[in-house]
């Protein structure tokens, strides 16, 4: 049991550290690393409670919540509906393809982050683009448990200030986690079956967040983000190599 829980707790600790340092990244780190140890639906189920608690904390700690919810409602509704109604979910898709999709998404996200590409969405496009992006993100969320692509680049294109962006990310991640929990329950994956494991994962994440904030005060955020993206690139590449060159996915 220790050989399973030790990497789980360490992964949540690092995920909390990254979230404390840059305001996002815990689901990305956790699913990217844990999918090498345990089945992806199980890793996603463990992530639900820590993700909800840390994102709600991040969401309510900022200002302008009412206007933000109003602006992002079409995106959030699309994300929820896309997740719940997606024809393919983690519990039904082949583990190899789900892991391959996760690895590919991590690599694309890392490459975009390293390129520092910036897109600006005009307000006239936001009204119809937000629900479309939300639905696409929901489909990805249902299949892989992660929707940083396309949600994070899209939110960055809406020209929020730094604090608004962190709060907008927290709102989307909260909605995504709730929708994923409902979808996993629909697919008979026990989301709250291992409450002790989820509680330990939450404690590890909460311990990591203040460490990340201290790190942010001592290390350039640009250096940290660059290191973060290179790590995601490596994790995504490893997952792709594993699914292409290892016959079957075995978890111990």
Question: DSSP 3-state assignment of 150?
Answer: helix
Which residue from 98, 114, 144, 100 is spatially nearest to 238, judged by alpha carbons? 100
- Of the ranges 21-35, 61-75, 128-142, which one carries the lowest mean pLDDT score? 21-35
- Which residue, chain included where needed, has tokens 């909260």? 174
- Per the model's pLDDT, the better-predicted residue between 232 and 10 turns out to be 10
How does residue 96 score in pLDDT terms, banded at 50, 70 and 90?
A: confident
Residue 242 has pLDDT above 80, yes or no: no
- Contacting residues for 67 by C-beta, under 8 A, at least 6 apart: none
Q: pTM here?
A: 0.81
Average pLDDT, the chain: 82
pLDDT at 148: 83
- Contacting residues for 61 by C-beta, under 8 A, at least 6 apart: none
- Which residue, chain included where needed, has tokens 């009412």? 66
**How do residues 213-223 score in pLDDT, each as one tens digit?**
888 778 776 77
- Per the model's pLDDT, the better-predicted residue between 224 and 199 turns out to be 199
pLDDT at 222: 76
- Which residue, chain included where needed, has tokens 């992806």? 40
- Per the model's pLDDT, the better-predicted residue between 145 and 72 turns out to be 72
CA distance 200 to 202: 5
| Residues in the chain, total | 252
**How do residues 48-59 score in pLDDT, each as one tens digit?**
888 888 888 878
Instruction: Give the Å distances, CA to CA, from 71 to 58, 78, 118, 160, 208.
Output: 18, 13, 21, 11, 31
CA distance 27 to 142: 14
pLDDT at 101: 82
**How do residues 173-193 score in pLDDT, each as one tens digit?**
999 999 999 998 888 887 766
**How is the chain split into domains, by residue range?**
2-245
95-123 mean pLDDT: 81
CA distance 221 to 233: 18
Query: Is residue 54 within 8 Å of 210, Cβ to Cβ?
Result: no
């Amino acid at each position: 049991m220790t050989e399973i829980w030790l990497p789980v707790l360490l992964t949540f600790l690092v995920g909390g550290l990254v979230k404390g340092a840059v305001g996002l990244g815990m689901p990305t780190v956790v699913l990217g690393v844990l999918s090498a140890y345990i089945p992806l639906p199980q890793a996603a189920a463990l992530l639900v409670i820590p993700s909800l608690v840390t994102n709600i904390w991040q969401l309510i700690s900022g200002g302008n919540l009412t206007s933000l919810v109003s602006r992002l409602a079409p995106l959030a509704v699309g994300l929820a509906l896309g997740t719940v109604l997606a024809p393919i979910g983690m519990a039904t898709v082949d583990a190899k393809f789900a892991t391959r999709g996760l690895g590919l998404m991590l690599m694309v996200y890392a490459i975009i982050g390293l390129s520092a590409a910036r897109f600006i969405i005009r307000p006239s496009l936001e009204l119809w683009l937000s629900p479309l992006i939300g639905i696409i993100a929901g489909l990805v969320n249902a299949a892989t448990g992660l929707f940083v692509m396309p949600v994070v680049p899209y939110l960055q294109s809406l020209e929020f200030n730094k604090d608004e962006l962190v709060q907008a990310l927290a709102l989307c991640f909260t909605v995504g986690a709730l929708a994923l929990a409902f979808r996993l329950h629909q697919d008979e994956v026990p989301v709250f079956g291992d409450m002790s494991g989820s509680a330990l994962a939450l404690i590890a994440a909460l311990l990591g967040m203040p460490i990340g904030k201290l790190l942010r005060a001592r290390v350039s955020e640009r250096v940290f983000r660059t290191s973060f993206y290179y790590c995601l690139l490596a994790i995504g590449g490893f997952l792709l190599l594993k699914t292409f060159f290892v016959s079957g996915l075995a978890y111990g």
